[in-house]
Amino acid sequence: MDVLQLLDEMGEAPPAHDAVIQAAVDLVLAASHQESPPGPAPSNPIVRRRPVVVVAAALATMAAAVVAVVLLVPAGGPGSPTTTRPGARPGGHAPRVITSAMVRLISLQSGAATADTGTAVETTTNTVGATIQGEPTTIDVTFSGPNVNYEIVGDGAGAAGVENRVVDGQLYLYVKGPDLQMHWYHDTSPDAAASMSFPDPRTLLQAVSASAGLEDLGQQRVDGVELTHLHATTPGALGALGIPDVSATVTSFDVWVDSADIVRQMAVSSTWGGSGFVCTVAPNSSGSSPSSGSVSIPPAARITTLPDGKPVPPGTVCGSTHAMSAGTTLDVRFADLGDPEAVAVPSGAIDQQGLG
Amino acid sequence: MELEDGEAVARSLAGEPEAFAVLVRRHGQVVHGYLFRRSDRQTADDLLGDVWLRAFHSRQTYDQRWPSARPWLYGIAGNALRAHWRRRVVDHDNRGEVGHDPWSDADARLDAARLWPAVRAALGELRREDRDVLLLVAWEHLTPAEAAVSLGIAPGTARWRLHRARHLVQARLDGAPVVPTVLYRASEEA
């Protein structure tokens, strides 16, 4: 028998599943849409009054109550990953690992959908050991291209109402001034916007990658919308995402995707361990240190965890180090994608250096 | 009437990028088959999207004079497959070996065929360049000229490599000795 004929008979391949071909079609269409010229800008963009913000603890005249802070210094690598699976698995649904092509499609579609305008709610919960520290911090985020507003709507530490706004690479803060009234300030420090301590929710989309080993846990109805729940089977492979609030090794990652393959909700947890020390901080308007250096571990409810690398507020006095572990869970929910939003320079912002 | 391959690519380059999806629907199965025959179903499923993204982003390299985009697509699929094997080597062995030939890893699925072990062994003895041409012709039903387009080589080179590969595999199956040195000596003369 001729070699070519022989090989031909041996080379039969079963057809690909329709879903695999369709995923490739969708992937190309998604890439096409990214390449297509952008549509016309909305003729009458709505400037949302929703505050966005940031915390300028040093400037804001917060109550002079003593706040306890735990500073963690990672030592010897991340703590043991805890692979607790959030959310209940729908009964009877066998998890299905999705292909890297599908993951890429979701990443592309979500990147395109969030590149322009939308809103998000970020909720951050901190733990030290197994104890949740204080109330979760909730931030309303509004984005329009690279411009982003952050408004703290609740954190249990008196920062509600504070806003951070980044417009054209410049940082604006809505905080209390020396007259105890809220004002917009423009931080004129070089690279002030880079010091922003809140994560742009869109940066978390980088975790939607093949290395996460995402599996499909089935459909879930969230806020009346049918979403597909994807769960990372290898979250540790994501490493440290390097974004604010998720600076340590990821220990769990869940994504909820809509029927257009766009991420609507994400939840990521990270933990880190090492030696830490408890500090007392007494912020006041002058930024001077408290007179007393006496330090003791306060009640858990009064401890706030700061990820490594965050600036230490003035007036910080720290005690001896001891081993500890801490964790952060960041929950992000997108909404209003594509709706007209504008994040503009606040009028009357006062130039000042070194706010952020 | 559906667009021809060349027309679809031309339109996709002229402000209608979504026209490229015509090619995916038309050739998606054969490209998947190409990947499957050289790896396994999971790898083929995983790589298919990557191949089409690569094709989309490099569509300006497609010579629209060719009536079918298949040879061009097989070339891209081959590159994606080789990149995949290289990554696998790096991931699993941390050796970073460039130019790793995946043949020895591939295709346990045809073991049931009586002749397959002998054919597989013979294919394994071929130089990768020769095997690429042989399998493009045998499995993907390309002409030698189309295989040349796929591999970015001259048609004469493709014909010579095909001849050489057929000769060596046939000789192996017939049990006849082969003299690789002689076979390979003229390889760059075509």
Paired with A132 in beta bridges are: A127
Give the pLDDT score at A210: 82
Nearest chain A alpha carbon to B134: A4
Set of chain A residues whose Cβ sits within 8 Å of the Cβ of B32: 13, 15-16, 20-21
Is B28 in contact with A16 (Cβ distance < 8 A)?
yes
Angle B35-B39-B40 from CA coordinates, rounded to 5°: 95
The answer to whether A196 and A356 are in contact (CB under 8 A) is yes
- Whole domain around residue A83: which residue ranges? 67-352
Query: pLDDT tens, A247-270?
Result: 567 888 999 999 888 999 999 888
Is A6 in contact with B115 (Cβ distance < 8 A)?
yes
Is B24 in contact with A11 (Cβ distance < 8 A)?
no
Query: pLDDT tens, B49-77?
Result: 889 989 999 999 998 888 899 999 999 99
Is B45 in contact with A105 (Cβ distance < 8 A)?
no
Determine which of B12, B32, B111 to mutate to test the interface with A (most A C-beta atoms within 10 Å). B32
Tokens read off for B64: 């629209």
- Going by CATH, does the domain composed of B110-190 fall within 1.10.3720.10? no
Range B83-86, long-range pairs (CB < 8 A, 24+ positions): B84/B39, B84/B43, B84/B47
B1-108: CATH architecture: Orthogonal Bundle (1.10)
Length of chain A measured in residues: 356
Query: pLDDT tens, B16-36?
Result: 899 999 999 999 999 999 999
Q: Is residue A149 part of a domain?
A: yes
Tokens read off for B127: 């130089």
The answer to whether A260 and A26 are in contact (CB under 8 A) is no
How far apart CA B84 and CA A205 sit, in angstroms, is: 24
Give the pLDDT score at A167: 92
Is B21 in contact with A25 (Cβ distance < 8 A)?
yes
Q: Check CB contact of A100 with chain B, cutoff 8 Å.
A: yes
Distances (CA, A) of A143 to A47, A83, A152: 11, 32, 15
Paired with A334 in beta bridges are: A120
Set of chain A residues whose Cβ sits within 8 Å of the Cβ of B29: 15-16, 21
Nearest chain B alpha carbon to A5: B138
Q: Residue A35 is nearest to which of B17, B47, B169, comparing CB atoms? A: B17
How far apart CA A144 and CA A312 sit, in angstroms, is: 31
The answer to whether A145 and A338 are in contact (CB under 8 A) is no
Determine which of A4, A9, A33, A102 to mutate to test the interface with B (most B C-beta atoms within 10 Å). A4
How far apart CA A231 and CA A87 sit, in angstroms, is: 10
Set of chain A residues whose Cβ sits within 8 Å of the Cβ of B36: 13-14, 16
Q: Check CB contact of A19 with chain B, cutoff 8 Å.
A: no
Instruction: Name, in order, each residue with C-beta under 8 angstroms of B67's C-beta and a sequence gap of 6 or more.
Output: B4, B5, B6
Torsion sign over Cα B185, B188, B189, B190: positive
| Domains: count for chain A | 1
Measured in angstroms, the CA of B130 and the nearest CA of chain A are apart by 13
- The distance between the two most distant Cα atoms of chain A, rounded to a whole number of Å, is 96
Residue range(s) in chain B whose domain bears CATH number 1.10.1740.10? 1-108
How far apart CA A281 and CA A67 sit, in angstroms, is: 5
Measured in angstroms, the CA of A103 and the nearest CA of chain B are apart by 10
Nearest CA to B138 among B117, B155, B119, B118? Answer: B119
Determine which of B11, B22, B24 to mutate to test the interface with A (most A C-beta atoms within 10 Å). B24
Distances (CA, A) of A322 to A68, A191, A254, A317, B168: 16, 34, 32, 15, 71
Instruction: Name, in order, each residue with C-beta under 8 angstroms of A316's C-beta and a sequence gap of 6 or more.
Output: A69, A279, A280, A281, A289
Residue range(s) in chain B whose domain bears CATH number 1.10.10.10? 110-190
Which CATH number fits the domain that encloses residue A196? 2.50.20.20
Distances (CA, A) of A123 to A152, A250, A266: 10, 17, 11
pLDDT band at B86 (very low <50, low <70, confident <90, very high): confident
Determine which of B12, B13, B18 to mutate to test the interface with A (most A C-beta atoms within 10 Å). B18
Query: pLDDT tens, A42-88?
Result: 333 323 322 222 222 322 322 222 333 344 333 333 333 233 333 33
Nearest chain A alpha carbon to B14: A36
Measured in angstroms, the CA of B61 and the nearest CA of chain A are apart by 17
Q: Tell whether the model's pLDDT for residue A322 goes beyond 90.
A: no
Tokens read off for A333: 């929910």
Torsion sign over Cα B85, B154, B66, B164: negative
Q: Is residue A23 part of a domain?
A: no
Give the pLDDT score at A227: 92
Q: Interface pTM (ipTM) of the complex?
A: 0.72
Q: Is residue A27 part of a domain?
A: no
Tell me the HSE value of A6 on the side-chain side, using a 13 A CA sphere: 18
User: Average pLDDT in the A205-221 region?
Assistant: 87
Set of chain A residues whose Cβ sits within 8 Å of the Cβ of B173: 3, 6
How far apart CA B177 and CA A246 sit, in angstroms, is: 64
Nearest CA to A13 among B146, B81, B139? Answer: B139
Give the pLDDT score at A67: 35
Query: pLDDT tens, A97-154?
Result: 677 778 888 888 888 888 889 999 988 887 766 667 667 888 899 999 889 998 888 7
Instruction: Name, in order, each residue with C-beta under 8 angstroms of B14's C-beta and a sequence gap of 6 or more.
Output: none
Q: Tell whether the model's pLDDT for residue B78 goes beyond 80.
A: yes
Tell me which residues of chain A, numbers 35 to 54, contact chain B at a CB-CB cutoff of 8 Å: 35-37
User: Average pLDDT in the B4-15 region?
Assistant: 92
H/E stretch holding A101 reads helix A100-114
Distances (CA, A) of A8 to A81, A159, A172, B133: 50, 71, 68, 13
Is A7 in contact with B139 (Cβ distance < 8 A)?
yes
How far apart CA A248 and CA A328 sit, in angstroms, is: 9
Strands A303-306, A163-167: pairing kind? unpaired
Tell me the HSE value of A83 on the side-chain side, using a 13 A CA sphere: 8
Q: Check CB contact of A14 with chain B, cutoff 8 Å.
A: yes
Q: Residue A11 is nearest to which of B50, B53, B138, comparing CB atoms? A: B138
Q: Residue B20 is nearest to which of A6, A13, A28, comparing CB atoms? A: A28
Is A32 in contact with B33 (Cβ distance < 8 A)?
no
Nearest chain A alpha carbon to B113: A10
Residue tagged 């009536």 (tokens): B67
Torsion sign over Cα A112, A238, B88, B117: negative
